[in-house]
């Protein structure tokens, strides 16, 4: 870029002296030609010349730099005396962080006689020279001995050398006051005994005995920290205590969960469990209470037997060591069914979707919800991927029912169907990263979740209705219960029943795993409405090519930590290999000594993880560290834009953390 020419400066600097000289010469000539007027002409000429030169000198003075070079040593002395007179630590170090100067307070602060020559970064445990844009907005605090300081850093250039001036401002009293406020902060929490009614269903005479035993344990826990425990409903308590005790509870990972779990009912095979929701947020007591209730709901929706601690925007979970018991009631299912039907009826249209790479449970539960929307007289579409092999197989069965013509759409078409009052119902998934279409979920205002996987975190937007029940065997089981209350007796078709039945069969491994009385009740309801295994048996058949691939994949299995089987397919695969991986994970559980299994396959740019457990290891807690979720004994994750070797390393680290914590 060209430098702008200052014509004004050029004129004043060059032209004015020339004009002054011309004026002087002209005056001399006039004096020579007019000797009789020599004196006045001479005086006038000198005056004009002097005036022009005065203007020229004034310009140069005003245009010259204001900083006098002679002031630099004076300013240096002033700044040195100012820094040296500080009554708080101050030091100067070079580009290598070697201390070249420090005032006496610095050595006193770090407990040394002299700090000259020491490395300032190591001495203060502070990284010097870090770009400000990369630093946190919060002030950097250091603790030296019994004092707390705030570090203020300034870079200084001296010639070709770079130095750093560090000053430490003592805020010890402020820090102590802040910590006192934190320690004395009121913490609100909810505690409930979440399975006592189910455990004592056939031993009612022992209810008072067991309930009193649990309450005595809770009272002792409360008294140990000087807290306040009040029962506001049967087996439900509100617990208030000081903030300093929350740090203790977190440090011992809420050991009260383990102590209560030692109480056994009947033959001693089933433990009593607690669910705890804790709130540590700023605001009024009402806001703290509301947040504690949200945390408790999170703990319950993840299966109970755990503490959910919400601190600010972060939520952390402790416990979750036992599988869940089926504790749903017909009353709750009826209430959910009525609310769901009302929400559907008031919408302009309904979109239903499950997770990406849908299995029969996701497809079956979506079909069941679609049937309910048809009954409510509302246009409904199921968003799915037509290229998926599972979808193709189900479409062959659904083609028999003309009501499903045009109901299935891809994600792009589904996005075009979104209107201001569209209702989105998400089934068999609650983790946004695993949705069939995250774009549709972002565009729709009203969302409903129906799922049997444990909740992985708070929703970005509060749904209008949530029915997450980890104790259910499948999403199809939950939807079947809803339809039982919401639909007329003969409205469910045999095709609908077949799809829901297939979902239950898949997730229970043909009624071998994770079943309960409600699972069999739902299956009987579907059988009464025309479901039969003969109609859907082709869905569970494996062709010879897939059978060989499954066997080949199983050969790659390794045993990790003496109890975990891991199999990896690092080569590129298609979506069908994800299903094969899930089957291999199931088969690996039959190996002697294996308590959990993980199968990793790369499909496209994502590594898919299928996790299974025999009930002694919570695989959900493990895959959550990789962004996944699921249930206690069955979970999964999708890690995008990452190599299989990296995912395997992260998985092993997560397994190590879990096992070490349990030990």
Same domain? 296 vs 382: no
Q: Indicate if 536 and 548 belong to the same structural domain.
A: no
Q: Six-digit token pair at 480?
A: 């079947």
DSSP 534-547: HHHGGGG---HHHH
Q: Residue 171: pLDDT above 70?
A: yes
Quickly list DSSP for 200-211: TTT-GGGHHHHH
Domain check: are 395 and 449 in the same one? yes
Nearest alpha-carbon partner for 453 in 437, 469, 436? 469
Q: With the CA atoms of 92, 98, 103 and 106 taken in that order, what torsion angle do they form, in degrees rounded to the nearest 10?
A: 110
State whether 277 and 338 are in the same domain.
no
Average pLDDT, stretch 510-530? 88
> Are 527 and 657 members of one domain?
no
pLDDT of residue 340: 94
Q: 139 and 29 in one domain?
A: no
Residue 183 resides in a domain: no
What do you get for the CA distance between the two ends of the chain, in Å? 69
Q: Which residues, in sequence order, are CB contacts of 633 under 8 Å at separation 6+?
A: 323, 513, 514, 612, 613, 614, 615, 619
What residues contact residue 240 under an 8 Å CB cut-off, 6+ apart?
A: 186, 187, 188, 189, 227, 228
> Does position 188 have pLDDT exceeding 90, yes or no?
yes
Q: What is the pLDDT of residue 57?
A: 61
186 near 242, Cβ under 8 Å? yes
* C-alpha span between 245 and 524 (Å, rounded): 50
Q: Output DSSP code: residue 415.
A: H
What was the pLDDT predicted at 68?
46
Q: What is the CATH number of the domain that holds 220?
A: 3.30.70.270
- CA-to-CA distance for 317 and 253, rounded, in angstroms? 9
Q: Under 8 Å CB-to-CB from 661, ≥6 apart: which residues?
A: 253
Structural domain for 370, as ranges: 330-540
Whole-structure pTM value: 0.63
- The answer to whether position 72 is within a domain reads no
Residue 10 scores a pLDDT above 60: no
Predicted confidence band of residue 620 (pLDDT cuts 50, 70, 90) = confident
* Whether residue 326 has pLDDT greater than 80: no
Q: Are 566 and 598 in contact (CB under 8 A)?
A: yes
pLDDT greater at residue 598 or residue 458: 598
Contacts of 416 (CB under 8 A, 6+ apart): none
Asked if the model's pLDDT at residue 205 lies above 60, the reply is yes
pLDDT at res. 134: 47
Picking from 319, 346, 379, the residue at the C-terminal end of a domain is: 319
pLDDT at 341 over 90: yes
Residues 239 and 166 in one domain: no
Average pLDDT in the 382-407 region? 90
Strand bridging mode 596-603 / 564-573 = parallel
Residues 551 and 535 in one domain: no
In a domain, 1, yes or no: no
pLDDT at 279: 92
Mean pLDDT of the chain: 83
Of the pLDDT bands very low, low, confident and very high (cuts 50, 70, 90), residue 648 is very high
Section 166-170 average pLDDT = 89
Last-in-domain residue among 540, 564, 583:
540
What pLDDT is stored for residue 219 in this prediction? 94
CB atoms within 10 A of CB 165: 16
User: Is residue 2 one of the residues assigned to a domain?
Assistant: no
Q: What is the DSSP letter of 359?
A: -
Band (200; pLDDT cuts 50, 70, 90): low
pLDDT tens column, 567-615? 998 665 565 677 788 888 888 998 889 999 999 988 878 888 999 998 8
Q: Nearest-CA neighbor of 503 among 612, 636, 362?
A: 362
At 62-81, the pLDDT tens digits run: 554 444 445 455 556 666 66
Question: Is residue 516 situated within a structural domain?
Answer: yes
Q: What is the mean pLDDT of residues 353-373?
A: 94
Angle between helices 494-508 and 360-375 (to 10 degrees): 150
Does 527 map to a domain?
A: yes
pLDDT digits (tens, 9 = 90+) for 97-139: 998 888 888 888 888 888 888 999 888 888 887 655 444 456 7
Three-state DSSP class for residue 329: coil
Share of the chain above pLDDT 90, in %: 36
Please check whether residues 386 and 472 belong to one and the same domain: yes
Question: What's the number of domains the chain is made of?
Answer: 5
Q: Of 648, 588, 593, 586, which is closest to residue 616 (Cα–Cα)? A: 593
| Together in a domain, 342 and 477 | yes
In a domain, 184, yes or no: no
Residue 603 CA from chain centroid, whole number? 24
Task: Note whether 424 and 348 are within 8 A (CB).
Answer: no
pLDDT for 229 equals: 94
Look up residue 37 and give its DSSP letter. G
Indicate if the alpha-carbon torsion angle 432, 438, 442, 448 is positive or negative.
negative
- Assign residue 608 the CATH number of its domain: 3.10.310.30
Mean pLDDT, range 291-304, rounded to an integer: 86
Question: pLDDT-based confidence at 223, cuts 50/70/90?
Answer: very high
Provide the pLDDT for residue 522: 93
Q: pLDDT value at position 80?
A: 65
Q: For 401-415, write each residue's pLDDT tens digit.
A: 889 999 999 999 999
User: Considering the domain boundaries, does residue 457 fall inside one?
Assistant: yes
- 419 shares a domain with 339: yes
Picking from 174, 209, 242, the residue at the C-terminal end of a domain is 174
Q: Does residue 469 share a domain with residue 338?
A: yes
Contact 571, 581 (CB under 8 A): no
């Amino acid at each position: 870029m060209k430098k702008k020419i200052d014509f004004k400066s050029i004129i004043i600097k060059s032209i004015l002296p020339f004009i002054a000289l011309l004026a002087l010469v002209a005056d001399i000539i006039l004096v020579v030609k007019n000797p009789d007027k020599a004196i006045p002409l001479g005086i006038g000429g000198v005056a004009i010349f002097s005036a022009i030169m005065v203007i020229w000198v004034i310009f140069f003075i005003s245009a010259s730099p204001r900083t006098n070079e002679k002031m630099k040593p004076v300013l240096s002395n002033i700044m040195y005396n100012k820094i040296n007179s500080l009554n708080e630590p101050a030091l100067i170090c070079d580009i290598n962080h070697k201390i070249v100067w420090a005032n006496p307070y610095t050595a006193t602060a770090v407990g040394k006689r002299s700090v000259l020559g020491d490395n300032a970064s190591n001495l203060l445990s502070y990284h010097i020279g870090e770009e400000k844009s990369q630093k946190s907005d919060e002030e950097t605090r250091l603790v030296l001995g019994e004092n707390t300081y705030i570090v203020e850093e300034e870079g200084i250039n001296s010639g070709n050398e770079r130095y750093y001036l560090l000053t430490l401002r003592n805020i010890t009293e402020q820090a102590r006051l802040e910590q006192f406020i934190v320690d004395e902060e009121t913490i609100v929490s909810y505690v409930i005994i979440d399975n006592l009614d189910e455990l004592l269903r056939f031993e009612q005479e022992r209810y008072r005995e067991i309930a009193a035993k649990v309450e005595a344990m809770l009272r002792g826990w409360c008294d140990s920290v000087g807290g306040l425990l009040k029962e506001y409903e049967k087996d439900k308590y509100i617990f208030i205590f000081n903030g300093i005790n929350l740090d203790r509870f977190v440090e011992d990972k809420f050991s009260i969960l383990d102590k209560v779990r030692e109480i056994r009912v009947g033959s001693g095979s089933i433990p009593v469990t607690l669910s705890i929701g804790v709130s540590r947020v700023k605001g009024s007591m009402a806001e703290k209470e509301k947040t504690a209730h949200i945390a408790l709901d999170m703990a319950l929706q993840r299966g109970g037997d755990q503490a959910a601690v919400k601190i600010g925007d972060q939520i952390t979970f402790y416990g979750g060591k036992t599988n869940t018991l089926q504790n749903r009631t017909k009353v709750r299912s009826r209430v959910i069914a009525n609310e769901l039907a009302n929400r559907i009826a008031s919408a302009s249209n309904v979109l239903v979707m499950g997770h990406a790479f849908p299995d029969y449970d996701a497809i079956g539960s979506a079909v069941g919800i679609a049937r309910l929307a048809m009954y409510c007289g509302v246009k409904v579409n199921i968003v799915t991927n037509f290229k998926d092999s599972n979808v193709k197989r189900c479409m062959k069965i659904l083609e028999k029912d003309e009501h499903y013509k045009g109901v299935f759409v891809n994600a792009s078409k589904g996005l075009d169907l979104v209107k201001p009052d569209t209702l989105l119902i998400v089934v068999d998934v609650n983790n946004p990263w695993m949705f069939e279409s995250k774009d549709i979920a972002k565009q729709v205002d009203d969302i409903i979740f129906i799922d049997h996987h444990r909740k992985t975190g708070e929703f970005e937007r509060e749904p209008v209705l949530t029915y997450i029940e980890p104790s259910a065997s499948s999403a199809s089981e939950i939807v079947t219960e809803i339809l039982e209350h919401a639909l007329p007796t003969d409205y469910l078709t045999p095709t609908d029943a077949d799809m829901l039945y297939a979902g239950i069969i898949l997730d229970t491994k043909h009624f071998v795993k994770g079943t309960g009385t409600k699972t069999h009740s739902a299956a009987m309801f579907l059988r009464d409405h025309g479901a039969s295994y003969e109609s859907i048996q082709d869905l569970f058949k494996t062709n010879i090519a897939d059978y060989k691939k499954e066997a080949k994949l199983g050969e790659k299995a390794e045993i990790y930590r003496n109890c975990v089987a891991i199999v990896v397919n690092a080569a590129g695969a298609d979506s069908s290999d994800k299903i094969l991986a899930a089957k291999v994970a199931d088969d690996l559980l039959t190996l002697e000594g294996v308590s959990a299994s993980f199968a990793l396959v790369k499909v496209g740019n994502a590594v898919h993880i299928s996790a299974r457990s025999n009930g002694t290891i919570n695989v959900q807690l493990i895959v959550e560290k990789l962004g996944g979720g699921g249930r206690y004994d069955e979970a999964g994750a999708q890690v995008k834009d990452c190599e299989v070797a990296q995912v395997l390393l992260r998985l092993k680290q997560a397994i190590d953390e879990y096992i070490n914590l349990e030990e």
